[in-house]
Amino acid sequence: MSNILDETVSTLQSALPPVFAGLALDELTGGAINWRTIQNARSNPDIDIPRECFIYSGRKVLVRRDTFLAWWRTTLRERPGYDKQRADHGA
């Protein structure tokens, strides 16, 4: 089951540079990961994105690919989260 997810992360790991500007995230991932969403998550105390995922150059936020993708992998799933709910309703 996690094979598809691991392959997805591995593909992104091959495509992304080791460190890149956060503002480039949307373009570098083909829109799969949205920088604005990541920034919102970083400001939400209920979402724990490890601080090690980011470094700073002045005001510019840089993303450390490997630590970021390790965290992002924990957010992935193969099926939509509503499958169980729909199954409970006979759908």
Q: What are 25's two structure tokens?
A: 């995230």
Q: Count Cβ atoms below 10 Å from residue 67 Cβ, excluding itself.
A: 15
Instruction: Round to whole Å and give the CA distance between 88 and 33.
Output: 31
Which residue ranges make up each domain of the chain?
A: 20-79
Closest CA to 5 of 60, 90, 72, 88: 72
Residue 91 has pLDDT above 50, yes or no: no
* DSSP code of residue 83: H
Q: What are 10's two structure tokens?
A: 């591995």
Residue 13 has pLDDT above 70, yes or no: yes
Taking only the tens place, the pLDDT of each residue in 15-52 is 999 999 999 999 999 999 999 999 999 999 999 999 99
pLDDT score for 80: 75
pLDDT score for 52: 97
Percent of the chain exceeding pLDDT 70 equals: 87
